[in-house]
Structure 1
Amino acid sequence: MNPNPNNIKLVAVDMDGTFARSDYTYDIPRFKAALSRMKKAGCQFVVASGNQYYQLRSHFPGYYNELSFIAENGALVKDKEELVFSANISKEAITSVLDLCKKHPEVQNVMCGLKSAYCQRGTVSEEFFELTNIYYHKLQWVDDFEQVEDQILKFAPTVPVEKTAYYCDLFREKLAELLVPTSSGHGSVDLIIPNCHKASGLKKLVQRWGITPKQCAAFGDGGNDLEMLAYCGFGYAMENASDNVKEVADYVCPSNDDDGVLVTLDQLFPIG
Structure 2
Amino acid sequence: MKNNIKMVAVDIDGTFVRPDYTYDVLRFKRILSHMNEVGCRFVVASGNQYYQLRDLFPEYDDKLSFVAENGAFVKDQKELVFTADMSKETVNDVIDVCREYPEILNVLCGVESAYCQRGTVSQEFYDLTSIYYHHLQWVDDFKEVKDQILKFAPTVPIEKTYEYYDIFAKRLQGKVEPTTSGHGSIDLIVPGCHKASGLERLVKRWGISSEQCVAFGDGENDIEMLKYCGYSYAMENASQKVKDAAKYVCPSNEDDGVLVALEKIFDVKSSSFHKY
Letter in 2 for 1:267: K
Letter in 1 for 2:23: Y
Instruction: Specify the alignment match of 1:105 in structure 2.
Output: 102
The counterpart of 2:226, out of the listed 225, 229, 238, is 229
User: SS of the residue aligned with 2:188?
Assistant: strand
Instruction: Specify the alignment match of 2:81 in structure 1.
Output: 84
Instruction: Specify the alignment match of 2:274 in structure 1.
Output: none
C-alpha displacement of 1:257: 0.8
Instruction: Report the identity percentage.
Output: 66
TM-score if structure 2 supplies the norm length?
0.97
Instruction: Specify the alignment match of 2:112 in structure 1.
Output: 115
CA RMSD of aligned residues (A): 0.7
Instruction: Specify the alignment match of 2:37 in structure 1.
Output: 40
Instruction: Specify the alignment match of 2:9 in structure 1.
Output: 12
C-alpha displacement of 1:271: 3.0
C-alpha distance in structure 2 between counterparts of 1:190 and 1:30, whole Å = 32
Instruction: Specify the alignment match of 1:210 in structure 2.
Output: 207
1:65-214 map, 5 Å: 65-214=62-211
The counterpart of 1:268, out of the listed 250, 256, 265, is 265
The counterpart of 2:248, out of the listed 232, 251, 265, is 251
C-alpha displacement of 1:195: 0.5
C-alpha distance in structure 1 between counterparts of 2:90 and 2:226, whole Å = 28
User: SS of the residue aligned with 1:218?
Assistant: strand
C-alpha distance in structure 1 between counterparts of 2:15 and 2:107, whole Å = 23
C-alpha distance in structure 2 between counterparts of 1:9 and 1:89, whole Å = 32
C-alpha distance in structure 1 between counterparts of 2:162 and 2:268, whole Å = 44
Letter in 1 for 2:213: C
Letter in 1 for 2:251: P
C-alpha distance in structure 2 between counterparts of 1:139 and 1:31, whole Å = 29
C-alpha displacement of 1:70: 0.3
C-alpha distance in structure 1 between counterparts of 2:153 and 2:83, whole Å = 16
C-alpha distance in structure 2 between counterparts of 1:64 and 1:268, whole Å = 23
Letter in 2 for 1:59: L
C-alpha displacement of 1:92: 1.3
C-alpha displacement of 1:81: 1.5
User: SS of the residue aligned with 1:57?
Assistant: helix
2:27 is the alignment partner of 1:30: yes
